[in-house]
Structure formats: structure tokens, C-alpha cells
A and B are shown apart, each in its own frame.
Chain A
Amino acid sequence: MSLFIGGFAIIFIGGLASLFCGRRGGLASLCGVLGTAAGSIAAIIPAFKVLFSGAAESVQIAWAVPFGSFCLRLDPLSAFFLIPILGLSSIAAVYGVEYLSSYQSRKNLGVPWFFYALLLVGMMLVVAAGNGLLFLIAWEIMSVASFFLVSFEYEKPAVRQAGLSYLIAMHIGTAFLILFFILLSSGTGSLDFDKIPMFPAAKANLLFLLAVVGFGTKAGFMPLHVWLPHAHPAAPSHVSAVMSGVMIKTGIYGLVRAAMLLGTPPAWWGWLLIMIGAVSGILGVLFALAQHDLKRLLAYHSVENIGIITIGLGVGLLGVHLHSPILAVLGFAGGLFHVLNHAVFKGLLFLCAGSVLHSSGTGCLDKLGGLIKRMPWTASAFLVGAAAISGLPPLNGFASEFLLYLGVFKNNGGDGLEMLVLALIVIGSLALIGGLALACFTKAFGIVFLGHPRSGAAQESHEAGVLMKLSMAVLACLCVLLGLLSPWVVRSAAYVIAAIAPLPMGQIEAELGCASSVLLGFVFVSLVFAIVLFGLTAVRCRLLKSRCVRQSVTWDCGYARPDSRMQYTATSFAQPITALFNVFLQTRKKFLPPEGLFPVRSSFETETPDLGERYLYLPLYRWICALFGKLQWLQHGRVQIYIFYIALTLWLLLMWKLM
């Protein structure tokens, strides 16, 4: 535990140091990245120790705050979330050094590094907090630090807007969490997690709903996800990677922790999570398909992946309720493994998107193209990430989805409507999400990196620097490794699942052993695939050596002047799917048809506004606005009247006291 606190302190001190040498950008970056990396290495050691030994560590520090106690506790669940948090944050920090260096002349780099350290410290505290009040404070540190990071380029109005909407969304979520913790403490008066009593069913249900809304806002459940597509494109890319890769997972962590605290789950908790997961997953990927901006597209994919994770948690909770060890273990294992996998491939994809943005200056898909020629490293890394997020073997994304499928396929929990609905929702939505994600990422990769450049900006792009390439390469390798090592990674989740699900350890280990042996089959197939691919490549190389290999233009139908604007665009690529699902997407089209015999100008625009924004948040805010509008008569702008209000209040308070 002392290592954890030491790492915590190193990161914070590194952040402070970079704040103090902020004017000298290089030094600030150095302090920031050294602090983050050294602190993360120190703190990740106890996390691994706890994960593999299963023995929780805790420390209590004196802290005189009502309801609060400074209790830090590393149990297997915290440790499991801590590992991707620390790992991805340090890799992204290395990337950030080079990414931020282009701002060096214009901005004080100490500030983003300080808030980066603060965000990391906040996330560490969130997963390690053993007390409700401490948790809320850490939660707030995390939200506010990330708000400042999102608003890094505050001179742009869109960024300010995004930052503000993020801040508001976070605090709506936090309001539900405050309510959650107040209700949680109302029994014993203590907010220590280990002193929470068992609740009657009605209260536990209410608490669970509060947790779903509160943590769901952070995690990005549909339709609470509205801040994601604004905040991720606005933030610097290494911050987007951390926010999307690990910060939103603290919402998942909170939800799991809440479910643990609230005791045996009734069936509907599981069903609710499965439904939320399926809706978030399918709508998330559909909205991603309709996007024109690379980082916005990735942000919607976070919603999709959170959906997959939530399906896993829901299946797990349902398994606990039904006393079906296979559902419980494989559901939780799949969901949690996907937490780890998503951190890796989404982090990678955001870093790649950052390199594209950094070198070409635009994230607009339809202005890019052909970048693989100028940015071969970034393109290859993006390809790995794209295949991983589409859940394709032999990469890690497949392994976690495979576990979820397997849980449902092997579940012999009996017949009946319940099992039917479960199989239909889980298999149907995972299959559909998989197919649509593949469509979306072939679109993203194909339009951005392949073909011809669609604008001058894309033509003048250049490869990222050494540090950026290094961090992308590390994450891409992790995508492959986590896939190939999945049988062993899954086994290491035994203690985490034992902490969540009230099952005997032997049973959990047996189920995980089963899953791991099945994954071993997948690893074998992957290895055979790699060997076959290698062999075929060698054979083709040999064959082509002695044969005629020519270069020519792409077949253009005999047309003499092909133009890069004639290529398929992101919009046209996604059109068959977006047209099919237009019921949900409600894409707005603006078409200016060509007119006359010699048409000069014609244009076509599509825009897909967010569903949650349009039908949930906007009406809600309008209603609140109208409500407060009715109170406007109180406001006159005259000082005398305000003084009268103050006097009136004082008088009322006095009367109240006297009575």
C-alpha cells in the first residue's frame, strides 16, 4: 500500500512541478511525463499483487470530516481497474509530450500537465476510495480536472461549448450520486463501504436506479451519453484517449461497486443493464456510422463498447440471481475483460486520430484520404485498432466478446421465456454490433488512410514523431498480446469475480478454467492463421519474383480525368446502413440540385443530431428554463429591492429561530 501512496504522491508532485515550470514548455512536459510514468510504475505493482493474491490491502489516514474517513482500500476489483488506468495514462502521457509540443509557443503547457496529473490522481483515488465521501471528492476532482483538459483550446467557441456541456452533464450525474450516498448512509450514519448494512428490497432498488443514472452519465449510457460526442473531439488527443479509454470506465467501476454494496441482485437489475447495454451498443455504433468527424465517430464507439461491457455486467448479475455460475462468471469475465480491451484499442485509436489531426489539421473524414502513403506507422496502428474494435480474431476485442457469447451459448439454465429473451438480446445485439462496427471501421480506415487525398491538408500531412509512434506501437502490440494471452488473462480475473459474485471460489475457478481452455482453442486457431498467412506471403513473394509485376492506374472506366473527389466518401459508404436505420438516426439532408444546362454549383449536406440531445436534454432544459423564467419577476436590477430581500430573509430567519 505504501507503494501505491508513493506512486500517488510522485504523480501529484510531477504535476505540481510542471505547473511551476509552465512557461518553459519542454521542462513542464518532462516533469509531467516523468511523474506520471514513475508514479504509475510504483502504483501498478501493488495492483498486480492484489489482483494475483486476492488479498485486499487498506490504509486508514486520520481525516476529520463528518461522514468521511480517509480509507484507501485496494481489493481485487479496484486493482483490476487500476491497471488499465495507470497503464494507458502513462502511455498516453508519453504521446502527449510530442503532441503538446506544437502548442508550446502559444500556450502554457504546465496547466494541461498539472490537470493531467490531477485527473490521474483523481481516477486512482476513485477506485481506491473506501468511503463514500472520499469517493465523491475524488469523483469531483476527476470531473473538474478533465473539464479543464477538455477546454484546453478554450479560444475556440466549439471547445468552450463542449467543455461546458461536459461540466453540466457531469454534475447532473454527480447530483444523483450525492443522493445515492446520502441514502446509503442513512441507516448507520457511516459512509465506509465495509459498514454498509443490508437494505430492504425497495430501498436497494431505488439506490440501484440512482447508481445507474449517476454512474451511467459518466460511463455514457444511451441516452445520458450526450457529453461524449462533444467532449472527446474537443480535448487534446492523448486526453481523449485517457477519457474514453479509462475515465468513463470509472462509471462502470462505480456501478459494479454499487451492485456489490447493495447485496443480492433481483432479476430486473440484470435485465435493466442488458437492455441499456443492447440499446447503447446498437445506437452507439449506428450514430458512429453517421458521423463525419473521426474523433466524434470514436466517441460514439465508446458508447457502443460501454454497451457491450454493460451487457456483460447485466448477464453476470442475472447469473447471480438465477444461481447459474456459467452466466455469472462468463458474463462478468467478458464484461471486465472488455473493459481492459477497450482501454487498449480505444486508447490506440484516439492516439492515431490525434496523429492524423496533428499532421493534417482536420478530423473531417471527407477531407482526408490516402494518408497511408505519408503516415505508414499511424495507418498500420489504426488498422490493428480498427480490427480489434470490430471484434475480429486474432485480436483482443474478439476474446472478450467471445466470452459473452459463450456464456449464453453454453447456458443450460433451462427453457422458458427468460432464457429465450436473454439469448435473443445478447446474441442478436452482439452480432449486429459486430457487423455494424466492422462497417464503421472499414469506413473510418478506408476513407482516412486509403485512396487519394481529398484535400490539400491531407496531401501535406506527415508522419508522427518518435514518441507518438512508440506509444501507438506499444498499444498495437498490446492488442495482439491480449488476444494471444487471453486464456491466461481471463484466469487472473478469478479474485475480481469472487469479489463481485457470491459464488464459491472453486466454482469460479472451474468456470474460468473452462473458458480459458476454450480460449486456448481460439489461440491455436490464431497461431495457425498467422503461420498460414506468413507462408502464403512467402510463397507469393517467391512466385512474383520471376514474374511480370506492373504498375498501372486504377481502372477508371476509360474516363480520361479521374479526380480525387470522385471517390466514395464516408457519407456515401455508410449510406446503405444509415438509410436503413433512418428511423433512429433521423439524418437531416440538405440538397442543392444542379440547375440549368451548365450547372455551376450544387451541394449535398447531411447532419445527424444526437437522439438523446434532441429528445431528452433539450426538452428538459427548455422546461427548466421556462420554470425559472416564471421567477423573473423577482429580478429587477435595483439594489434597494435586493437589500429588501436580504432584510426580509434575515427577519424570517429570526422569526423562525424565535419560534
Chain B
Amino acid sequence: MVILLKILNLAVTLTAAPLLLGIIIRVKAWFAGRTGQPLLQPYYDIWKLLRKGTVYSVSTSWVFRAGPLVSLAVTLTAALLLPMGGLPAVFAFDGDFLVFVYLLGLLRFFMIVSALDTGSSFEGMGSSREAAFSALCEPALLIGLAAIAKITGHASLTPMAASLQPALWTAAGPAFVLVGFALIIVFLSENCRIPVDDPTTHLELTMIHEAMVLDHGGLDLGMLQYAAALKMWLLGLVLVGVVVPIHSGFLCLDTAATLLCMGLLAVLVGIVESSMARIRLLRIPPLLIGAAALSVLALVLVYR
């Protein structure tokens, strides 16, 4: 029975991940007064790309070809570590979120080196920014998770999410709010959304993630896009899982509520993207350090 639930968790993650992107795009279209593309457009895009061949630059080596494979393998493996509402994670052990965070580090490592492999300055620029900003995200994410671990008394995501009773919120509400804000900033930054990065432009002065995948094409780009969608889903699951106290006792209800929260998160991202401009690159480090400061504050409140 438990195994079935674990498989169900994995299946939902793998199929639903690109939907978040679809929702975000639809919300943005709605704000702009357009009809927008179909909700399932990201699926069509990925499917279209996955059926194509590829073009490789003559400058590149096996590292460039390994980039998309490692990205997808990392996100698929990381999906095994996250619970979803009532559905437990496939693997759960103390400190599993550390493995999760560092697996995302491995993804970033390969994205950066495969971007540098092309020898293009655009990709150098994107990867340099990615390296700098994600280095600042890491303390915010881990200190925030430390605060939650301290509140719940668990060091593993599945029991952490399971023990998140509404009563805990009344006891340590401010800490949850602070961690929630910190994790939203990390979520936006790690997934290259406004206000940190603009996923819709190809203007070299502003772009980070888009610049890094500039030379990937066809099948490889499809894999990268699916990996990026999965990464967004997984970070969203962490955010929803450790901050929102969904605990009705009914498995279906919990899971449905989590999925609903994921949808709301996508709507929130859409609203942020429609109502805000991308901030200047020089202002991004203070934003991320601010996120870390929120996490630190949460930890202070917890240990008070």
C-alpha cells in the first residue's frame, strides 16, 4: 500500500510538473488582457522538442552533451525525496533535504560547465550570474529549513511535513511566515522568475537561465525544459510542504490540498510577474541576502 502511494507521488510529480508553467503563463496573459496559450502548451513544447534531433557547436565537448542528461537525472532523482501532502516520499531519511539541496547543486554545476563549454560570452555571462546568485540562495534555503526542522523536531522532509499540525502554526506562526517569505524568494530566484530573471527575454543584459541554454537545441533543450519544470515543481513542493499546515488526516484531502496550494503558488508567481518589473542585477544580491536574513530571523524566533 505504502509503495503504491510512493509510486503515485512520483507519477503525479512527473506528469504535473509542466502544468505550473502553463498556469503561470495563463495568469500573465489574463493580467495582460490576452487569452493566452492553452494550459497544456508547455507539454506540447517539450513533446515537440523531444522529437527533434540536435545541433552541437563545434566548440563543445562531452561536458556539453552531459549537461541535459545530468540535469534531468538530478531532478528525477530529487523527485524521490519529496513528500506530497499525504503521499510519502520514496526515500526518507534524516537530512534528506540536504541531499535534495546538494543534488540541485550538482544540477547547477553541470548547467554552468555545459554553458561554459560553448565558449560564448553570453553563456559565460549567464553562468557567472547563476553561480553568484545561487551561492547566496543556499544559506537562505538551508537556514530556513533548519528553523522548520527545529520547530517540528524532525530532520527529514516526510515526517516534517506530516507533523505540520495547524497547532504548530499558532505556536510558531511568525517563524513560518518568515521562512515562507524566504523560501518564496529562493523559489523565484532558483527558477529564474521575475524579479530575479526574466524567462521571456533573450536580451543578454538581463538574462541568466535563458543565456545558459542558448546553444542547446532539439532533444537536449526538451530535456532541459522538462528538468526546469520538474525543478520548479520540486522547490514548490518543499515550500508548500514545510510551510502550509495541511493535516486533515485524510490522505486524499491532504494530497488534493497540496496540489491546490501548488496551483495557488503558480498563480502567485503569475501575479508577481505581471505586477513587478525585473529588478536591476546589482539589486539582486541584497534581495537574496534579505531572504537569508528572514531565515535567520525565523531561526532566532525558534530558538528564542
Q: Please report A residues at the B interface, Cβ cutoff 8 Å.
A: 369-370, 372-373, 376, 379, 383, 386-387, 390-393, 398, 402, 405-406, 408-410, 412, 415-417, 419-420, 423-424, 427-428, 430-432, 434-436, 438-439, 441-443, 445-447, 450-452, 514, 517-518, 520-522, 524-525, 528-529, 532-533, 536-537, 540, 543-544, 547-557, 564, 566-568, 572-577, 580
Chain B residue, CB-CB nearest to A454:
B119
Find A525's partner among B62, B80, B124, B132 (CB 8 Å cutoff): B80
The reply to whether A532 and B73 form a contact with Cβ atoms under 8 Å apart is yes
A420 touches B300 (CB 8 A): yes
Interface-lining segment among B92-100, B191-199, B257-265, B267-275: B92-100
* B53 → A minimal CB distance (Å): 4
How far does the Cβ of B19 sit from chain A's closest Cβ, in whole Å?
Answer: 22
**A567 touching B121, Cβ below 8 Å:** yes
* Residues of chain B from 88 to 117 with CB closer than 8 A to chain A in the complex: 91-96, 98-99, 102-103, 105-106, 108-109, 112-113, 116-117
The answer to whether B80 and A521 touch across the interface, beta carbons within 8 angstroms, is no
Contact of B106 among A387, A424, A575 (CB under 8 A): A387
Contact between A435 and B134 (Cβ–Cβ < 8 Å)?
Answer: yes
What is the number of contacts between chain A and chain B, taking CB atoms within 8 Å?
A: 257
Q: Check if B102 sits within 8 Å of A393, measured CB to CB.
A: yes
Q: At the interface, yes or no: B278 with Cβ under 8 Å from chain A?
A: no
Give the chain B neighbours of A383 by CB distance below 8 A. 63, 113
Contact B155 A445 (CB under 8 A): no
Closest to B140 in A: A431
Does B61 have its Cβ within 8 Å of any Cβ on chain A?
yes
Contact between chains at B57 and A553 (CB < 8 Å): yes
| Contact call A549/B69, Cβ cutoff below 8 A | no
Which of B58, B129, B149 makes the CB contact (< 8 A) with A551? B58
Interchain CB contact under 8 A, A547 and B53:
yes
Partner of B91, one of A525, A574, A580: A525
Known: A431-B139, A529-B103, A533-B69. 5 other contacts (CB 8 A): A390-B109, A424-B299, A427-B139, A435-B137, A554-B119
A-B contact pairs, 26 of them (CB 8 A): A424-B299, A428-B296, A432-B136, A435-B136, A435-B139, A438-B105, A438-B131, A441-B109, A446-B112, A521-B93, A522-B99, A525-B103, A528-B77, A536-B72, A536-B73, A552-B58, A553-B59, A554-B58, A554-B215, A555-B57, A557-B122, A564-B119, A566-B121, A567-B120, A568-B116, A568-B124
Cβ < 8 Å to A, chain B residues 195-228: 214-215, 218-219, 223
Residues of B within 8 A of A544 (CB): 53-54, 219
Partner of B135 from the list A420, A436, A451, A543 (CB cut-off 8 Å) is A436
List of 7 A-B pairs having minimum Cβ-Cβ separation, nearest first: A568-B124, A435-B135, A446-B116, A521-B93, A451-B119, A547-B53, A420-B303
Q: In the bound complex, what is the Cα–Cα distance between A537 and B72 (angstroms)?
A: 10
Query: B255 interface residue, CB < 8 Å from A?
Result: no
A442 and B109 within 8 A (CB): yes
A451 to B124, CA, bound (A): 10
Note all chain A residues with C-beta closer than 8 A to B121: 566-568
Q: Is the CB of A439 within 8 A of B93?
A: no
A416 (CB) vs chain B CBs: closest residue: B303
Given known contacts A446-B117, A450-B61, A550 and B56 CB-to-CB distance under 8 angstroms = yes
What B residues does A537 contact at CB under 8 A?
Answer: 69
Q: A540 with B219: in contact, given A392-B102, A518-B93, A567-B119 (CB under 8 Å)?
A: yes
Cβ–Cβ contact A410 & B94, under 8 A: yes
A557-B131 Cα distance, complex, nearest whole Å: 24
| CB of B235 within 8 Å of the partner chain | no
Contact residue among A391, A406, A445 (Cβ-Cβ distance under 8 Å from B95): A406
Nearest chain-A residue to B285 (Cβ)? Answer: A580
Taking A431-B142, A434-B102 as contacts, is the C-beta distance between A577 and B124 under 8 angstroms? no
Q: How distant is B17 from chain A, measured CB to nearest CB, in Å?
A: 16
Whole-angstrom CA separation of A543 from B223 in the bound complex: 13
A372 CA to B113 CA, complexed, in Å: 12
A549 near B57 (CB under 8 angstroms)?
no
A573 touches B135 (CB 8 A): no
What B residues does A369 contact at CB under 8 A? 119
Q: Tell me which residues across on chain A come within 8 A of B14, comparing CB atoms.
A: none
Alpha-carbon separation in the docked complex, A81 to B117 (Å): 39
Task: Give the Cβ gap from A185 to chain B, nearest Cβ, in Å.
Answer: 44
Query: In the complex, what residues of A have CB within 8 A of residue B128's CB?
Result: 568, 572-576
Least distance between B15 CB and chain A CB atoms (Å):
17
Asked if B112 contacts A423 (CB within 8 A), the reply is: no
Check B132 against A576 for contact (C-beta < 8 Å): yes
Residues of A within 8 A of B58 (CB): 551-554
Q: Is B118's CB within 8 Å of the partner chain A?
A: yes
Instruction: Report how far A522 CA is from B131 CA in the complex, Å.
Output: 25
Contact B63 A439 (CB under 8 A): no
Is B219 touching A547 in the complex (CB atoms < 8 A)? yes
Asked whether, in the complex, the Cβ of B80 is within 8 Å of the Cβ of A528, the reply is yes
Bound Cα distance A386, B110 (Å): 11
Complex-state Cα separation, A386 to B218, whole angstroms: 29
Chain B residue nearest to A422 in the complex (CB):
B303
Residues of A within 8 A of B98 (CB): 402, 405-406, 409
Measured in the bound complex, the distance between the Cα atoms of B126 and A341 in whole Å is: 31
Q: Which of B54, B92, B120, B303 contacts A555 (CB 8 A)?
A: B120
> Per-residue CB proximity of B54-90 to A under 8 Å, as 1/0?
1111111111000001101110110011000000000
In the complex, A443 Cα to B115 Cα: how many Å?
11
**Does A540 contact B69, Cβ atoms closer than 8 Å?**
yes
**Within 8 Å of chain A (Cβ to Cβ): is B143?**
yes
Tell me the minimal C-beta distance from B296 to chain A in angstroms.
Answer: 6
The reply on B125 being an interface residue by CB < 8 A is yes
Asked if B118 contacts A525 (CB within 8 A), the reply is no
Least Cβ distance of B207 to chain A in Å?
Answer: 13
CB distance from B236 to the nearest CB of A (A): 20
